Structure 1
Amino acid sequence: MTLTSDGNDSGDRVISKETSFSHQANRVITVRAVQFNLPVSVDRHWVRGSPFKTHLFNSLHLTLPAVEYWMVRHVQSRLKHITASPLRQNVRGFILQEAQHAEQHAQFGEILRQQGYELKACLKMEDWILTSLQRLDWRLNLAAIAGMEHLTVLLSEVVLASDLLAAAEPTLKAMLEWHALEEIEHKAVAYEVLQTVSQNYLLRVAGLAIGCAFVLGLLNRCTLTLLYQDRCLWRWSVWREMGQFWLTKEKMLLRSVPHCLWYLQPNFHPAAHD
Structure 2
Amino acid sequence: MSAPAHADHPHPISDAREPRDLDGSDPGPVELHARNVTFDWSDTPLHWIPDHPVPSNFISVLNLLLPEGERWFVQTYNEALPLVADDELAATMRGFIGQEAMHAEAHDHVLWEFLDHHGIDPRPYLRQMEWIFRKVLGPMHGGSPKARQKHLIERLWLIAALEHYTAILGDFALNNAWVESGADPGMTDLFTWHGAEEVEHRAVAHEVAIYFGDGYLRRGRAMLVALPVLLLLLNRGFRFIMKQDTSLSYNYFQRQYHYFRGVHAGVLPKMRKIILATFSYFRPGFHPNEIGSTAQAVAYLAASPAARNAG
TM-score band (shorter)? 0.7 to 0.9
Aligned to 2:18: 23
Aligned to 1:71: 73
Pick 1 or 2: higher relative contact order, CA cutoff 8 A, min separation 6.
2
- Which aligned pairs between 1:240-251 and structure 2 lie closer than 5 A? 240-244=257-261, 250=268
Change (3 A) 1:248 1:262: farther
CA–CA separation in structure 2 for the residues paired with 1:236 and 1:94 = 41
Shift of 1:105: 1.2
CA–CA separation in structure 2 for the residues paired with 1:214 and 1:87 = 29
- What is the one-letter code of the residue matched to 1:95? I
Aligned to 2:163: 149
CA–CA separation in structure 1 for the residues paired with 2:195 and 2:75 = 21
Q: Is the 8 A contact 1:46 1:169 kept in 2?
A: yes
Shift of 1:120: 2.9
Does 2:144 match 1:134? no
- What is the one-letter code of the residue matched to 1:21? A
Does 2:155 match 1:162? no
- Overall identity of the aligned pairs, in %: 25
CA–CA separation in structure 1 for the residues paired with 2:245 and 2:219 = 39
Q: Deviations along 1:114-152, whole A, 9 cap, x unmatched?
A: 222222332133223222123672222111100000011
Indicate the SS of the match to 2:127.
helix
Q: 1:121 aligns with which of 102, 120, 124?
A: 124
Structure 2: which 5+ residue stretches go unaligned? 21-27, 141-150, 294-311
Change (3 A) 1:15 1:104: farther
Aligned to 1:105: 107
| Count of matched residue positions in the alignment of Structure 1 and Structure 2 | 266
Shift of 1:83: 2.5
Aligned to 1:92: 94
- What is the one-letter code of the residue matched to 2:30? V
Q: Greater shift after overlay, 20-29 or 138-147?
A: 20-29
Q: Is the 8 A contact 2:4 2:83 kept in 1?
A: yes
CA–CA separation in structure 2 for the residues paired with 1:204 and 1:247 = 33
Q: Deviations along 1:11-62, whole A, 9 cap, x unmatched?
A: 6332532224333696313325332231324312112142212212221122
Q: Greater shift after overlay, 48-57 or 149-158?
A: 48-57
Change (3 A) 1:23 1:85: farther
Q: Is the 8 A contact 1:188 1:271 kept in 2?
A: yes
- What is the one-letter code of the residue matched to 1:118? D
Q: Is the 8 A contact 1:140 1:206 kept in 2?
A: no
CA–CA separation in structure 1 for the residues paired with 2:252 and 2:231 = 22
Does 2:213 match 1:198? yes
CA–CA separation in structure 2 for the residues paired with 1:23 and 1:70 = 27
Aligned to 2:50: 48
Q: Is the 8 A contact 1:15 1:196 kept in 2?
A: no
Aligned residues: CA RMSD: 2.5
Aligned to 1:10: 2
Q: Deviations along 1:67-122, whole A, 9 cap, x unmatched?
A: 11100111222222222232222111111111111111111111211222222332
CA–CA separation in structure 2 for the residues paired with 1:208 and 1:219 = 16
Q: Is the 8 A contact 1:29 1:185 kept in 2?
A: no
Aligned to 1:253: 271
